Structure 1
Amino acid sequence: MSTRCVLPPAAATKARTAYNSRRRRWLADPSLAEQDSLTVALHPPSEPQIAEDPDTVVAWVRAWRAYTGAGLVEWATRRWPSFGTQEVPVRLTLAGAGQIASAGGRETEWRALVMRRDALVHGLGPGSPTLSAAVAATAAKWLDLDGDDFVRLTTIARWLSDHPNSGYLIRQLPVPGVDTKWLSRHRGTVESLIDGVRGHRDLGIRSLPNLRDVALCDPDLLIGTPRRFATSLEELAALPLAPARILILENKEGLYALPRLAGTVALHGGGYTVHELAGIPWVVGSEVWYWGDLDSHGFAILDRLRRHLPHVRSLLMDTATLDRWRDLAVREQSPTLNDASHLTASETAALLSLRDGDLRLEQERIPWPYVLERLLAAFGAGR
């Protein structure tokens, strides 16, 4: 029988689809959730369809007579010459978000959402459309939190809302269980909630500075300062330095093993944040060299740096070095295929050779005597 009669499981699927598509709007507007409705047409059969498969039609009617789910099943009288007068279900009407959720098998989830929605909205002060929208937009995040983490979320969001410019470091926040790792995992949710309260995502807190390792290869450049130290980018920029040359490298052990080099300061690159060094005035005004890994990421980092410092030159990132020490290379597990359009012909040739074999040669694998030989030859300086 090819009847279109809708059985209870099919109606539940329609309710679940409506729930999934409307849930966010309901959370943002409780009045809409109360007033919304869903009508599922049950498509009673025609007389020819009954004649074709009466047993199926009887089973359909019985299924709706036995229905105990949410909503109201409406019945209508049909009069057929061959089958007489019959009462058949014609539609299922679901009134409000609760009934739609229940019919779709999402009643427990909806109750949890409403309870947590109310806790967040009421906990963050006077409700507003922007706050309600932010709470609704983050529902998928806070619904999955266990009870303890949800309490932490509501508590830290309220504290940050009440103290918009605390200037605290993360570990100074007076909320048990909220530390650097916790906030790192949930920061996007917290920022969205604060945005709903204040109209911006700034939490008003501080993070520990990202320290860069520094080696004064020429101690005379800054007398009285340790030869090797780590400090923030801001403090680096404020140092009264005027080096002739900057060497940026990614391997910290290599940085600490560098010999004395006249007029030279060595800096740790920081991977894909290397371009931040271009904001330091005495770096911009110096001769700049970059030495990274011989792999796709190393050249991508070099390309990024050269976009900010066009005059940067590379060291030990050429085919001669790769061919000399190819036996020390390993397979690159996760290469980047990003376009590197700011490489020299020699650098491009080395990158293509690496990609041809999916290879990477880490800078620390290159024998140190060879590094020193190439380093001193490039800089034209003695020990």
Structure 2
Amino acid sequence: MADPVSPGAVAAKAAASYRNRRSRWIESPTLAADDPVTIALHPPTERRVAADPDAAVAWVRAWRSRRGPGTVDWEERRWRSYGTQTVPVRLTLTGADQVADAAGAAREWRTVVRRREALAAVTSGTSALPAALGRTASRWSSLAEKDFDALTAVLRWLRENPSSGLYIRQLPIPGVDTKWVTGHRGLLEELLRGMADDGGPDADGKGDSGAEDGNTAGGLGVRTVPRECGIAVCDRALLPGAPRIFAASLDELAALPLRPDRVLMLENKEGLYALPALEDTVAVHGGGYAVHELAALPWVRDAESWYWGDLDTHGFAILDRLRAHLPAVRSLLMDADTLTRWSGLAVHEPTPVGRDGLDRLTAGENAAFELVRSGGLRLEQERIPWPWVMQRLREHWRLG
């Protein structure tokens, strides 16, 4: 049977309920006002009283003298050896205020309530806002006061200027700089989505600034500098007069008059500089998990496409994602033979990804994936001796 709960143990039990229910209370002030938390006190049995009557008496006296929040329910117990005794059986804390007080978190809860009201005041109130406030509570409630003031200021400005067409660095918000906005962007976006479920300009997370680089998709309704992709024109005849290696936005790359027979997408940028002249070939830096964006380039879709990534679990996850957008893409040197031959150059992969969801790998790629996952290995593509890489590349592509 459970031990009797002393008044001193209430704080820990109330704290557990406070942590578990806080998000729901933030979502619903009505629930927060009267949500009951009942703590069973497990009064001692007659056998326990017989074993230590002084402890039982002290326990009952402690509950009689308790002055904390909540209501204690008392019931009679009829014991053969001790007659009828009245003992405390449960403590009921009603509402978030009482639970927070019992948990020693009354000051924190008052701050949460004040901040919730401040965030709700930024908008007229939407049905999705309470849930957004609950989901993000741990982030906005833990902010320093000056950062919370900045949060409300940025939210208010973005709500009032949903289609400014400005870049983040151009936002004219006192006391807020670019670093602050980018560092808190995820929180801002989630709260703005909650504030925009009324069908306003941010309801789809895109805004309507009409920026050509698609930079409003993050949900702030402002523009960001587009991602630039490095490109190596390995056959200079494909783009006469252009630098051999340069970087440009996806829109600019899409507009290039390129018609290569072959496109090689590289996980890492260094490979662009290491590649020699290769007939009818263009190489592009994939940018890790953003590589699927390259599938939108017309000259990538129309060419024979290859992907060469690191031999680790993330490299195969990136390949799988790319293949969802570019089904015909083939992998280069991402096989068990390459890994086995050069495993001495591999290092430990600290944060591998799991197998779930990687449904587009070939049998050979799956075999290599299992090797790197089971061995916890990472073989970066640049580590493989370059003469061997070039020999295999020319064999794959039947180059002279």
Q: TM over 0.5, yes or no? A: yes
What letter corresponds to residue 346 of structure 2 in structure 1?
V
- What TM-score, normalized to structure 2? 0.77
Partner of 2:208: none
Q: How does 1:270-281 map to 2 (within 5 A)?
A: 270-281=287-298
1:155 deviation in Å? 1.5
Residues 243 and 90 (structure 1 numbering): CA distance in 2 closer, same or farther, change over 3 Å?
closer
> Residue 226 of structure 1 is aligned with which of 228, 238, 243?
243
Higher mean alpha-carbon deviation, 138-147 vs 4-13, is at: 4-13
- The residue identity in structure 2 corresponding to 1:134 is A
2:267 aligns with: 250
Question: Residue 331 of structure 1 corresponds to which residue in structure 2?
Answer: 347
Distance change in 2, residues 1:322/1:131 (3 Å):
closer
The equivalences for 1:255-266 within 5 A come to 255-266=272-283
Distance in structure 1 (CA, Å) of the matches to 2:343 and 2:224: 43
> Matched residues in 2 for 1:228 and 1:27: separation?
53
Shift of 1:185: 4.1
Change in Cα spacing, 1:273 to 1:91, as seen in structure 2 (3 Å) is closer
The alpha-carbon deviation at position 172 of structure 1 amounts to 2.2
Deviations along 1:137-190, one digit per CA (max 9) or x if unpaired, are 321111221222222222212222222222332222233565555444433322
Cα 1:171–1:48 change in 2 (3 A) is: same
Deviation at 1:45, TM superposition (A): 7.2
1:190 is aligned to 188
Residue identity in the other structure for 1:58: V
2:312–2:349 contact (8 Å) kept in structure 1: no
- The verdict on how the C-alpha distance between 1:152 and 1:65 changes in structure 2, with shifts beyond 3 A counting, is same
Q: Counterpart in 2 of 1:365?
A: 383
Q: Is the 8 A contact 1:244 1:264 kept in 2?
A: yes
SS in 1 for 2:295: helix
Structure 1 segments (4+ residues) deviating >6 Å? 43-52, 74-88
Match of 1:293 in 2: 310
Give the share of equivalent positions with the same residue, in percent.
Answer: 56
Q: Offset at 1:254?
A: 2.6
Cα distance in 1 for residues equivalent to 2:310 and 2:159: 45
Provide the TM-score with structure 1 as the length reference.
0.79
Aligned counterpart, 1:103 = 102
Moved more, 144-153 or 63-72: 63-72
Amino acid at match of 1:253: E
Q: Does 1:204 align with 2:202?
A: no
SS at match of 1:254: helix
Measure how far apart 1:212 and its partner are: 0.9
1:360 & 1:40 partners in 2: Cα distance?
51
69-78 vs 307-316, greater mean Cα deviation: 69-78
Aligned length: 379
Whether 1:164 and 2:162 are equivalent positions in the alignment is: yes
> SS state of the match for residue 229, structure 1?
strand
SS at match of 1:133: helix
**1:283 corresponds to:** 300
Larger radius of gyration, structure 1 or 2?
A: 1
Task: Describe the shift of the 1:292–1:95 C-alpha distance in structure 2 as closer, same or farther (beyond 3 A).
Answer: closer
The corresponding residue for 2:151 is 153
Judge conservation of contact 2:265–2:308 (CA < 8 Å) in 1: yes
Residue range with higher mean Cα deviation, 189-198 or 253-262: 253-262
- Greater mean alpha carbon deviation, residues 73-82 or residues 356-365: 73-82
Structure 1 residues 298 and 112: alpha-carbon distance in aligned structure 2, compared to 1, 3 A threshold: closer
Pairing 1:107-122 to 2, within 5 Å after superposition = 107-122=106-121
Q: For 1:331-350, what per-residue CA distance to the aligned partner results, in whole angstroms no more than 9, with x for missing partners?
A: 34245553766556665666
Deviations 1:25-44 (A, max 9, x none): 33233344334455667677
Change (3 A) 1:318 1:52: closer
The match for 1:56 is 55
Task: Give yes or no for the alignment of 1:30 onto 2:29.
Answer: yes
Query: Given that residues 245 and 272 in structure 2 are in contact (C-alpha distance below 8 angstroms), is that contact kept between their aligned partners in structure 1?
Result: no
SS in 1 for 2:184: helix
Please tell me whether residue 216 in structure 1 is matched to residue 233 in structure 2: yes
Distance 1:290 1:360 in 2: 17
SS at structure 2 position matched to 1:213: strand
Segments of structure 2 that go 5 or more residues without pairing to the other structure are: 198-202, 206-218
- Structure 1 stretches lacking a partner, 5+ long: none
What is the rounded CA distance, in whole Å, between the counterparts of 1:87 and 1:294 in structure 2?
Answer: 71
Contact kept, 8 Å, 1:117 with 1:136, in 2: the verdict is: no
Q: Which amino acid aligns with 1:257?
A: A
Deviation at 1:108, TM superposition (A): 2.0
- Alignment counterpart, residue 174 of structure 1, candidates 161, 169, 172: 172
Shift of the 53–275 alpha-carbon distance from structure 1 to 2, 3 Å rule, reads same
**CA contact under 8 A between 1:3 and 1:49: conserved in structure 2?**
no
Q: Per-residue displacement from partner, 1:3-59 (whole Å, max 9, x unpaired)?
A: 986532344455444433433333233344334455667677788986775423431
Instruction: Please state if 1:134 is matched with 2:132.
Output: yes
Separation in 2 of the partners of 1:193 and 1:347? 41
Cα distance change, pair 194–81 in 1 and its aligned pair in 2 (3 A): same
Deviates more, 1:213-222 or 1:26-35: 26-35
